[in-house]
Amino acid sequence: MTQQHLSSERTGPVRVAVLGAAGRMGTAVCAAVEAAADTELVARLDVGDDVSSLAGVADVAVDFTVPSATEANVHALIDAGVHPVVGTTGWDGDAIARVREHLERDGRGLGALVAPNFALSAVLAMQFAAQAARYFESVEIVELHHPNKVDAPSGTAMHTAQAIARARQGMPAAPDATESGLEGARGALVDGVPVHAVRLRGLVAHEEILLGNPGEQLTIRTDSFERSSFMPGVLLAVRTVGTRPGLSVGLDAYLELG
């Protein structure tokens, strides 16, 4: 396999394949790629389609499939010399490590992105929360979603809590005098940060980060009302992934946030 077809080395539109093209997100991504002037939709793949057929055909492949399929798709894309952009949830540290190792072993300088949330408002909320977290005694997260969501807490809330915990390293634990209570009443602890999950008919995808000090509170809130909110972030990733060798986790890695 040569590098001639990698997007960072070609001129013209970025050639994009979509995996899970018939799904809700996949359908929206296909439309966004077709509508953008600098991207070209070259393949729609679904269950049973052969990812290796994308070698030399696509520069970037966007995966919005299912947690049970996404890691295998990414390894097949790397073997095919295609940069993966992944929105499918369910990635854990071991899967991330395997992809990182595969990219290093491959040695062709491919880039890959795994992003739990492509909504710019959510990515920025997470970044702002991590920046603010050192200046407040208390921080808790409330994530709110539609009742069809199968995982809790959301991948975005997990990612937010981990970023906050990293920012607060060396700080005392948040004050909490709770000695007894019903299980779950104080949420789930993610790296020491309480995360509360609400599932409510009528909601889409929302997150609040509550930061408290004596006499003051900062609330950072993000709301995704529809799938269109993810498309600017997906297109940004499609345009950028070929220029960032190795595995990036979270869209914030591609934003110039300082």
**Interface residues toward ligand NAP, by CB under 6 A:** 19-20, 22-26, 45-47, 64-67, 69, 73, 87-89, 115-118, 230
Closest of 128, 116, 125 to residue 85, by C-alpha = 116
Q: Which of 145, 159, 196, 206 is catalytic?
A: 145
> In the complex with ligand NAP, which residue's Cβ is closer, 9 or 46?
46
- Smallest gap from residue 228 Cβ to ligand NAP (A): 11
Sequence letter at residue 86: V
Contact 32, 237 (CB under 8 A): no
Q: Is 75 a catalytic residue?
A: no
Q: The tokens of 230 are what? A: 């993810």
Strands (E), the chain: 14-19, 39-45, 60-63, 83-86, 111-114, 138-145, 188-190, 193-199, 205-213, 216-224, 246-249
- In angstroms, how far is the first alpha carbon of the chain from the final one? 36
Q: Which is nearer to ligand NAP, 91 or 136 (CB)?
A: 91
Query: Whole-number minimum distance, CB 156 to ligand NAP, in Å?
Result: 8
Contact call for residues 234 and 106 (beta carbons, < 8 A): no
CB closer to ligand NAP out of 57 and 174: 57
Nearer to ligand NAP, 52 or 213 (CB): 52
Least Å distance, CB 232 to ligand NAP, is 11
Please report how close the Cβ of residue 252 comes to ligand NAP at its closest, in angstroms.
13
Cβ atoms of 39 and 14 closer than 8 Å: yes
Distances, alpha carbon 45 to alpha carbons 18, 19, 35, 40, 42, in Å: 6, 5, 19, 15, 10
Active site residue 145: yes
- Residue (111 or 139) nearer to ligand NAP, CB: 111
In the complex, minimum distance from the CB of residue 257 to ligand NAP, in angstroms, rounded to a whole number: 18
| Whether the Cβ atoms of residue 19 and residue 255 lie closer than 8 Å to each other | no
Q: Is 181 exposed, middle or buried (0-12, 13-18, 19+ CB in 10 A)?
A: exposed
- Give the catalytic positions in this structure: 145, 149
